[in-house]
């Protein structure tokens, strides 16, 4: 995993949150955080029912990212509890390796406190220091305006839209938006 110096941020409500690299010991809490984030059932391509990783699967994934200098996995800690995370993975294909994709999640009780923005900005700062990463990319669902506003605020631009790429169980569709920023 790329190097990242832990930092403390003050959430909008005054509480302190620590950003640091994840370790395999975080697997159980990180998995619980991911499940809680997905429990709302919107904002993610994967449904809560499809997200069925084991703690051991999560531990292996964290270790895989930890072993890769062009990957990053940060956790946001409020006290001893993981309340958010962001992960970045460089593209595997040679002609795309100058870029990669990230995913992010903050548990509902901590959304709107500035943690998502802090994690995105930390990722971008890390990417700027990387000798091999030139472009950071993401995919966001069109029915997630809060996330879209955050990405615009951090400097991302839209580079494509897949109309009706997502179909919810109730038959409602939403578009998938691809965004990027050159660092």
Q: What is the pLDDT of residues 85-104, one digit of tens each?
A: 999 999 999 999 999 999 99
Q: pLDDT tens digits for 45-63?
A: 887 778 888 899 999 999 9
The 10 Å Cβ neighbour count of residue 71 is 16
Which residue in 81, 84, 34, 78 sits closest to 54, CA to CA?
A: 34
What span, in angstroms and rounded, lies between the C-alpha atoms of 89 and 174? 25
Strand ranges (E), the chain: 7-10, 16-21, 71-78, 81-90, 99-106, 135-141, 157-167, 173-182
Query: What is the domain partition of the chain in residue ranges?
Result: 7-133
User: For position 67, what pLDDT does the model report?
Assistant: 92
Tens digits of per-residue pLDDT, 157-167? Answer: 999 999 999 99
Q: What angle do CA 92, 97, 100 make, to 5 degrees?
A: 80
CATH code for the domain defined by 7-133: 3.40.630.30
Distance CA 138, CA 158 (A): 10
Of 50 and 14, more confident: 14
Asked if residue 169 has pLDDT above 80, the reply is: yes
pTM, two decimals, is: 0.93
Per cent of the chain over pLDDT 90 is 78
3-state secondary structure 85-125: EEEEEECCCHHHCCEEEEEEEECHHHCCCCHHHHHHHHHHH
């Amino acid at each position: 995993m790329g190097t990242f110096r832990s930092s403390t941020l003050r959430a909008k409500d005054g509480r302190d949150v620590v950003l640091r690299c994840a370790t395999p010991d975080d697997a159980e809490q990180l998995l619980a955080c991911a499940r809680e984030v997905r429990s709302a059932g919107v904002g993610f391509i994967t449904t809560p029912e499809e997200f069925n990783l084991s703690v051991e699967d999560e531990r292996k994934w964290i270790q895989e990212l930890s072993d890769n200098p062009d990957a990053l996995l940060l956790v946001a800690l409020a006290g001893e509890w993981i309340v958010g995370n962001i992960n970045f993975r460089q593209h595997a294909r040679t002609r795309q390796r100058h870029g990669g994709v990230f995913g992010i999640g903050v548990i509902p009780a901590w959304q709107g406190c500035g943690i998502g923005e802090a994690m995105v900005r930390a990722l971008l700062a890390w990417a700027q220091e990387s000798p091999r990463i030139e472009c950071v990319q993401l995919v966001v669902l069109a029915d997630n305006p809060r996330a879209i506003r955050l990405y615009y605020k951090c400097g991302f631009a839209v580079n494509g839209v897949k109309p009706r790429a997502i179909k919810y169980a109730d038959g409602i569709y939403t578009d998938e938006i691809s965004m990027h920023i050159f660092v």
